Amino acid sequence: MDLTVIAIPAYFSTMGAEYAYLKRQAKDRAPVAGDYTRDDTLASLAMGVGSLLAPLTLKKLVEPVTPGKGRYGKVLVAGAVGAAVATTVADAVARRQETGQLPEAGTIPADSPAAQRPTSRRSRRSLARRIASSTGVAAVAGGVLAASTMWASKSAAQKVFASHDRDLGDGVLANLGAIVGWDFIYYWNHRFMHETRWLWAIHVVHHSSEHYNLSTALRQPVLDVFGMFLPYGALSLAGFRPDTIETARGVNLLYQYWIHTETIGKLGPVEEVFNTASHHRVHHGSNRQYLDRNHGSILIIWDRLFGTFEREDEPVRYGLTKNIATYNPLKIATHEHADILRDIAASTTWRDRLEFTFRGPGWAYDRHRETAEAIEHGDVLDTSATSTVAAAGVA
């Protein structure tokens, strides 16, 4: 049984209690980030429902194109490789046309008929760039889909568990071990989701609200199928049963629910070992000192061990470094993916395409800002390293 589904009545009852408490408080104070607002709460609830339904739908959709499993898996791989080859050729043609074949600056007067009339070379150059733009997107998107679906299929707990004869049973110690093991893997997956834009595009959904209350916990990603994570199925290598691992997942998610609140303050010595509402408020902060901190789920000791721990001191500003200003669930779920695809389409080298996809989100946002500043000051841009389209969407 899925513990997170069984707990749905508890979600609504506790959210109702928190709402009533905050509403009474609001009579004597100014609005705070923990307050419930209709549009924000509905968006969070919609994303929560989507996070339950999307995996069922998307799994059916991607199974046929999963390499090594679906009948069209090889077609997806071949398509991605073909698109990559086409992009590489188009890049080469465009670069050749853009270097050495155009007249030196000032050779043809600006008002000359020859300067005003497009040449076939310029038309071909434009066509090459358009081809590279489209096939570049297809190559990266197809490659990511092929890799993520194949990885998920190969590393599934059931498949790993069936490959050996180790079995730790389903006793108390086995369940506790699976919970700790899941928590450890979760820390690294959560950290990676903040450190590579490909995974951040999935996780950003959870950070998109500028409010922070129990409803925020339900604002969950819906496109996990497009991510490649450290496999929780690896716990099966140690002999943990798939059902035990699923229980650990449920416990992990249930624990995270209560820490999404401003109503609970600091908890003293408990905070030295366990993740708390205070620690997780830091994680949701867009303050510079709070960025990419406190990735743990149940235990905060992983952050202490691996250098990502931060205590709550200054008031937390929730949301993104540049908020998206929408309550539309579809935009909340896909806005970062759309930005990545635009950046890939505008890139002119494979290095840029891959960096806009796999480097940290902060790198991409800094790149956008630098490009916008260069355009604003009239600087000459190196189009092989800067996306002019990306500049329009400064982070």
Q: Residue 272: CB partners within 8 Å, gap ≥ 6?
A: 300
Per-residue pLDDT 10s for the chain (395 aa) are 788 889 999 999 999 999 999 999 999 999 999 999 999 999 999 999 999 999 889 989 999 999 999 999 999 999 999 999 999 999 999 998 888 554 444 444 444 444 444 445 455 447 999 999 999 999 999 999 999 999 999 999 999 999 999 999 999 999 999 999 999 999 999 999 999 999 999 999 999 999 999 999 999 999 999 999 999 999 999 999 999 999 999 999 999 999 999 999 999 999 999 999 999 999 999 999 999 999 999 999 999 999 999 999 999 999 999 999 999 999 999 999 999 999 999 999 999 999 999 999 989 888 888 877 777 776 645 544 444 343 333 33
Q: Where are the beta strands (DSSP E) in 11-150?
A: none
In the chain, what are the domain boundaries?
3-62+164-323, 73-148, 330-393
182 close to 248: Cβ distance less than 8 angstroms = yes
Nearest to 148 by CA among 201, 101, 185, 217: 201
Compute the distance between CA of residue 141 and CA of residue 349 in angstroms, rounded to an integer. Answer: 16
pTM of the model: 0.88
Q: Phi first, then psi: what are they for 301, rounded to 5°?
A: -65, -30
Phi–psi pair at 387, nearest 5 degrees: -95, 115
- Residue 139: helix, strand or coil by DSSP? helix
* One-letter amino acid for residue 256 of the chain: Q
How far out from the chain centre does Cα 199 lie?
4
Output the CA torsion sign for 386, 388, 390, 394.
positive
